[in-house]
A and B are shown apart, each in its own frame.
Chain A
Amino acid sequence: MPGLPNARHSYAIARNELRVGWRKFRSKSVVQVLAFGLVALLGLGFTAAATYGAYLAGQALVENPGEAAELVALVPAGLGAFVLFMAAYMTVIQIGDIDVRDGYLTTVPARDVVGGLLLSGYVRVTGFVTVPLVVASAGFAVGAGEPLAFPLTVLAVVALTVTAFLVGYPLGAAVGYLLGQSELVARYKAALGALVFVAYFGLILTNTLAVVIDPIIETFRASPVAWYSDLALLPVLDAASALQAVAVVVGSAVVSGLAVLASVRVSERRWYDDGVDARARETDSVSGGRLDGLLGRRTAWVARKSWLRARRAPIKLLYVAYPIFVLVTPIQASVEAGRVTSLLPTTIALYGAWLTGALFTLNPLGDEGAVLPVSAITGVTGREFVGGLVTASALLGGPITLVLTAVLAVLSPLPPLAVVCTVVAAAVLPPLAAAVAVGVGTAFPKFEATTITRSREAVVPSLWAFGVYTIVFLVTAGIATGVQSPTAADLVAEALGVSASAVRVGTLVAGVALAGGAALVGVRTAVRAFDTYTTDG
Chain B
Amino acid sequence: MSDRAIETQNLTKRYGDTTAVERLNLTIPAGSVYGFLGPNGAGKTTTMRMLTTLTKPSDGTATVAGADVSNREAVVSNIGYLPEEPPLHAELTGREQLRYIAGLRDLPEADAEERIEDLLERFSLADDGNKRISAYSKGMKQKVGIIQAMLHDPDVLFLDEPTSGLDPRAARTVRDTIAHLAEGDATVFLSTHILPVVDELADTVGVLYDGSLVTEGSPGGLKSRAESGEERTLEDVFLEVTGGIGEEA
Contacts and interface: CB of A to CB of B under 8 A. Distances in A.
Given A102-B87, A109-B76, A12 B81 contact: no
A102 B104 contact: no
A287 interface: no
A109 B73 contact: yes
Interface string B81-98: 101001111011000000
Nearest to A100: B87
A209 to B, nearest CB: 38
Which interface residue of B15, B79, B104 has the most chain A CB atoms within 10 A?
B104
Interface in B41-92: 52-56, 72-73, 76, 79-81, 83, 86-89, 91-92
Contacts of A27: 91
A12 B103 contact: yes
27 contacts: A12-B100, A13-B104, A99-B89, A100-B87, A101-B87, A102-B52, A102-B81, A102-B87, A103-B81, A103-B83, A103-B86, A104-B87, A105-B53, A105-B54, A105-B72, A106-B54, A106-B81, A107-B104, A107-B105, A108-B104, A109-B76, A110-B72, A272-B53, A272-B54, A272-B55, A272-B56, A274-B15
Nearest to A111: B73
B116 to A, nearest CB: 15
A99 B55 CA distance: 17
Given A99-B89, A100-B87, A277-B15, A106 B79 contact: yes
A23 B87 contact: no
Interface in A62-118: 99-110, 112
B101 interface: yes
Nearest to A11: B103
Contacts of A103: 81, 83, 86-88, 148
Contacts, number: 66
A27 B148 CA distance: 25
A326 interface: no
Nearest to B58: A274
Interface string A244-270: 000000000000000000000000000
A448 B207 CA distance: 40
Most chain B Cβ neighbours within 10 Å, of A19, A20, A104, A107:
A107
Contacts of B53: 105-106, 272
B69 to A, nearest CB: 11
A185 B98 CA distance: 39
Contacts of A23: 91-92
Contacts of B81: 102-103, 106
Given A9-B104, A102-B87, 15 more contacts: A12-B100, A99-B89, A100-B89, A102-B81, A105-B53, A105-B72, A106-B54, A106-B81, A107-B101, A107-B105, A109-B73, A109-B76, A112-B104, A272-B54, A273-B56
Closest 3 CB pairs of A and B: A103-B87, A100-B87, A23-B91
B80 to A, nearest CB: 8
B212 to A, nearest CB: 20
A24 interface: yes
Interface of B: 15, 52-56, 72-73, 76, 79-81, 83, 86-89, 91-92, 100-101, 103-105, 148
Given A9-B104, A272-B54, A272-B56, A106 B76 contact: yes
Nearest to A22: B91
A529 B11 CA distance: 56
B89 to A, nearest CB: 5
A24 B148 CA distance: 22
Interface string A375-402: 0000000000000000000000000000
A16 interface: yes
Given A16-B89, A16-B100, A272-B55, A102 B83 contact: yes
Contacts of B80: 106
Contact of A24 (B15, B54, B91): B91
Interface string A20-37: 100110010000000000
A105 B56 CA distance: 13
Nearest to B87: A103
A12 B89 CA distance: 14
A103 B54 CA distance: 10
Nearest to B91: A23
B72 A109 contact: yes
Nearest to B88: A100
Contacts of A101: 87
Nearest to A105: B54
B52 A106 contact: yes
A277 B20 CA distance: 14
Nearest to A274: B15
A103 B105 CA distance: 12
Contacts of B86: 103
A225 to B, nearest CB: 36
Contacts of B87: 100-104
Nearest to A25: B91
A16 B88 CA distance: 12
A315 to B, nearest CB: 22
B91 to A, nearest CB: 4
A98 to B, nearest CB: 10
A31 B67 CA distance: 52
Contacts of A105: 53-54, 72, 76
Contact of B91 (A20, A112, A272, A274): A20
A105 B83 CA distance: 12
B132 to A, nearest CB: 8
Nearest to A110: B72
A298 to B, nearest CB: 30
B162 to A, nearest CB: 15
A100 B88 CA distance: 6
Nearest to A26: B91
B9 to A, nearest CB: 21
A183 to B, nearest CB: 10
Contacts of B105: 107
Nearest to B79: A106
A110 B54 CA distance: 10
Nearest to B132: A23
Contacts of B92: 16, 19-20, 23
A232 to B, nearest CB: 38
A174 to B, nearest CB: 19
Contacts of A24: 91
A108 B76 contact: yes
Contacts of B79: 106
A105 B104 CA distance: 11
Interface string A481-513: 000000000000000000000000000000000
In this complex, the member of A9, A104, A108, A277 whose beta carbon has the largest number of chain B beta carbons within 10 angstroms is A108
A101 B76 CA distance: 14
Interface in A278-297: 280
A246 to B, nearest CB: 37
Contacts of B91: 19-20, 23-24, 27
Given A104-B87, A105-B54, A12 B104 contact: yes
A20 B56 contact: no
